[in-house]
Structure formats: C-alpha cells, structure tokens
Amino acid sequence: MNFLRNLIASIFGTLIALGIILVLIVLIASAVGETEKISVKENSVLEIRLEKTVKDFAPKSDNPIDEIFGFNDDKIALNDIINAIENAKDDANIKGISISTMGVGAGVSQTQAIRNKLEEFKASGKFINAYADVYDQKSYYLSSIADSIFLNPQGSVDFKGLSSEILFYKDLEDKSGVTMEVIRHGKYKSAVEPYLYNEMSEANREQISSFLNAIWIEILEDVSKSRNIIVEELNNIADNLLGRNADLALRNNLIDGAIYSDEYENKLKLAAGIAIDSDLNKITIEDYISTGKGRISSSASNKIAVIYAQGEIMYGKGDENYIGQDLIIKALKTARESKEVKAIVLRINSPGGSALASELIWREIELTKKTLPIVVSMGDVAASGGYYIACNATKIIAEPTTITGSIGVFGVIPNISKLANKIGINAEQVSTNKGASYSAFEPMSDSFRAVTTEGVEQVYNTFLDRVSAGRNISFAAVDSIAQGRVWSGVEAKKIGLIDELGNLDDAIAAAAELAEITDYKVRNYPDYKIELEDRFGGFPFMKTKEKLLIEEFGEENYKIYKTVKSFSNLKGIQARMPYIIEIH
C-alpha cells in the first residue's frame, strides 16, 4: 500500500512539475513575443558573418519556444542569404556591406554562390569592405570580392591551395579482427577504399586531383579578377605561403591595409557617409533576414516550386538533414497537383546513399515531369545517388565547383569472424534451406558473395540505364564516364552529365522559361514538421546529440566517429560517392 501511495504521489509530483515548466515556457514565450521588433535604421551597414552552418534550405520555426531554447540558432539558409543581399541592393537604409567572418560554414559552391551575389550587389554602386583578424582560405575567397580588404596587423591570410585527406582503416581491421566485406562496381568507387587498402589507389588519386584542380582554378580566376593579380602569381603566393603574415599579405596585394578593428570601424563610417564621432548602425544578416528580407516579395499567382533534397539519401521519411523518399515524393506530388505551380526546381546537395530510395524518387520524377518541367540545380555535391535522382530531369544545371557523377554502387557488410576467433566465440547455424545466408561471425561464403555481387551489378546496370535514358547518351558511353568517377561541374558539362553551369537563380529562370511564364514567385518545399518530442529530446540540456559529441570528442575526432557510424548504419546496396572527402 505504501508503494502504491508513493507511486501515485510521484506521478502527481511529476505532472505538477511539468505543468509549472509549461507555464513558465508560455510566460517566457509571451515576453519574447512582446519584445521590440528589429528594424533597419537609416545609414546602416549590413554585416555578414558566416561561421554558422550554411544549408541550402534551413526553415526556421516561428514558435517562440524554439527561439527561447536556441533551436533556430545553429544554421542559416543559403536561399535566405542570397535573397537578403538581393533586397539590400535596393534598400535605401543599407549603405554597404561589411564582411567580417573568420570562417565560412558553407561548402565551396555555396560560398561561390554568395560571392557571386555580392558581386551583383557591388555593381549597384554600394560599397563592400572586409575585415578579419585571420582569414582562412574560404573566408578569404569570399572576402576577396570586397572593394577593400583589411587584416589585423598580427593576422594572416591562409592562402595555400586545396587539399583533401582520406583516412584508411585496413591495418585497424587486421589488428582488431573487425572487417568490412565490400562488393562494388566502379574502379573509382572509392567510398569503400579505406576498408580495402592502406593507401589511396591511383584511380582515386587521379579523380581527386582532377576535381580539386578544377575547383582551384575557379577560385583562382575569381580572386584574380577581384584583386587584379594574375593566376600564375596567385599560385606562387599559395606555393610559398606569401600571406602568412600581414606584411607579406599587403606586399603581395592580398589585402589593402593592416589595421585594427577600431580603425576599420572608422573606415566603415566614412564609406557610409557618417561622421567619425557618430555611432555606426550595423545590422547582422541574421537580423536583416528576420525583418522579412530573406524573401523576395511578389504578388504573382504563378509559382515555381523549389524542392530541397539535402543530405545523405536514406530509406524512410527524411528531414532537413537527410533525404528520405517519403518527404521528397510528397513534395513532388503536392507541387504537381497545385494549380499555381507551373514548374519545379529540384535543388540537390547530396553525396548519395540508398539505391532503393534513389530509385523511388527517380520514379516520382518520371511521373511528375509528364505534367511539369523539372530543372535540377546542383549545390556543393550531387553525386552517386544524388546524381541518380537528377539524371532524368528536363534540364540539369550545376555550379562550376559542384562535385557530381560518381555513377557506381557498392555493398558493405561488417564481419567480426576474426575477432570472434581471437576471443573464443564460435557461432553455429541451423537452416531449413540451402539458400545463401550470412553471419557476421563467419567468413563470407562464395555463394553469398556471388548473390550479393549479382545484386550490385543489377543496381549498377539499372543506374546506367537511368542515366542513358535521362541524358540521351548510349549505355556504353555512360559506362565509360561512370565507374564511380567523380567530376567537377565544369568537367561534367564537357562530358554531358549536365546541361549548363549556373546557380539556383539560373535554374529557377530556366524553369520559368520552360513553363513559358515571366511573372512568378518561389514556393519552397518540403514542409518540415518538428514533433514535440524531437524539440525536447535533449531536455534539460537543450543540446543536439551532434553538439554534445563534438564538445566531448572535438571536431576532428567527431568526423572519424561519424564516418564509421555512417557505414555501420548502411542498409542495402548503396549509390554513394566517396563522401569522406574534406576539401581544405
């Protein structure tokens, strides 16, 4: 009886505590809702800092609870940034832009897209200045578009060229007895190389060198144009690290002055036409977006649907971090059933993943393009499964620095038979039939390997068929440029994997042209619904699992953990690029 009384008391106590917490949340939310709204003051300078993670699409909830607990704080949407810069061109209150970011939480293609929009802003006659205590390579690439670039006198410009590092685990497998059984098609399908070899294959080195050089040329040409430094000299600067201190950076024309932040503030005042002894009105791009400037206003009734497919492809529902067929299929159906939607742009930023989920999305695109034109816009990466869901679009547009292709497939299965042997575990199986079966405690049998290889080959041939039909290229020609080979956007255009080079705006314009409309507005999809348990999954700490792991292990160790964890979660045959690539 005492136990029952205590249990009931505990339940009531918990309910009362939860009730109090909810009341407090409502009160705080009300207080937040009553705070003064952000406004753009006269003679303001738009400040761009991009240390946060930049995602192609990062819908933010307008729920005050999300603001209170910081659910909206760790990301910023590329489309919002682009729209904000576009709006700032014609905003009389914005006199110019200050880029003051030490790091850029965006991919190379995303950074180039922002840089291109800043170039348009500069062409309007308004100023752009840049300042940092230290420039890493990506932040310098972004900032190089500025009229004037300034650096802390004790700072540096890390301009050194691009590199990529891949970790190999073969020795670790041999020592631990935990191995990954790999079956693949495509000599360039290097996503699984770390489990097969101790060093990079020549084929993989060839493709990485090829697309790194293609991307580097894009960066060099952009910086060369903005800074009036010939490409050969920029390579010399990179080879000899001639931006490693402020004096060298100034001498080699990487910057326009070595000054302190207070001196830079005065330069911004002069550029904005404000007296030195007056206060400078600065508004961050996040605050500017929050005033509604992250959208382009339009009264048009016609719509272009932009469907964002970002992250790895996994069988299932999907969310803003990974692509599941359910959400993408639902978005495609919703768009084609809408009377206002006249065309679709599928924005892809994905290294691929589940071949089955990719096939299901491909099928929905086949159905949809019978009704509406579909233009694919490729972001930083649209490779392997990411290319699978692009190949049958009406038109494909990629950024010059997009990583694409990787038309190949693999299967990977963990095996611990050597480890089991070492520690004295023996597994025995009893079966009713003779069909090939697999146990992680036994070496893979020839019959099981044969069946799995057959499945990989079938998916690979289907992939080639899809590309052949979608791109109107012969099966043999597709096979010759496939084999898991990764290409840059520039290279992909030369071999027919894409139609044009351009950004998301170009893709939207192409979709409007195919739909034969001139007056339209953009509607973004999918619609993400965040359930209550997802919001408070980390309560009371209010931190995502990712944030906690990064804090615990550090950024680099977390990347290794994420790589191994990702492979352990693979299900079914994969159409996935060598996604371990990190460009520095």
Residues classed as catalytic: 189, 384
The 10 Å Cβ neighbour count of residue 298 is 12
| Rounded (5°) CA angle 25-32-75 | 90
Measured between alpha carbons, how far apart are the two ends of the chain, in Å? 66
Q: What does DSSP assign to residue 105?
A: -
Cβ neighbours of residue 119 closer than 8 Å, sequence gap 6 or more: 145
What are the beta bridge partners of residue 146? none
| Rounded (5°) CA angle 33-34-35 | 95
Quote the tokens at residue 237.
């600067």
Per the CB < 8 A criterion, the answer to whether 218 and 109 are in contact is no
Instruction: Return the amino acid letter for 202.
Output: E
Quote the tokens at residue 290.
């929050």
Q: Is 448 helix (H, G, I), strand (E, B) or coil?
A: helix
User: Within 13 Å and on the Cβ side, how many CA atoms surround 396?
Assistant: 30
Between 504-515 and 78-89, two packed helices, what is the crossing angle to 10 degrees? 80
Backbone angles phi and psi of 422, in degrees to 5: -65, -40
Q: Is 467 exposed, middle or buried (0-12, 13-18, 19+ CB in 10 A)?
A: buried
* Summary count for the chain: helices (H), strands (E): 22, 22
Cα(235)–Cα(220) distance, integer angstroms: 8
Q: What does DSSP assign to residue 130?
A: E
Q: Is 208 helix (H, G, I), strand (E, B) or coil?
A: helix
Per the CB < 8 A criterion, the answer to whether 495 and 392 are in contact is no
Cα(383)–Cα(312) distance, integer angstroms: 10
Quote the tokens at residue 10.
């505990």
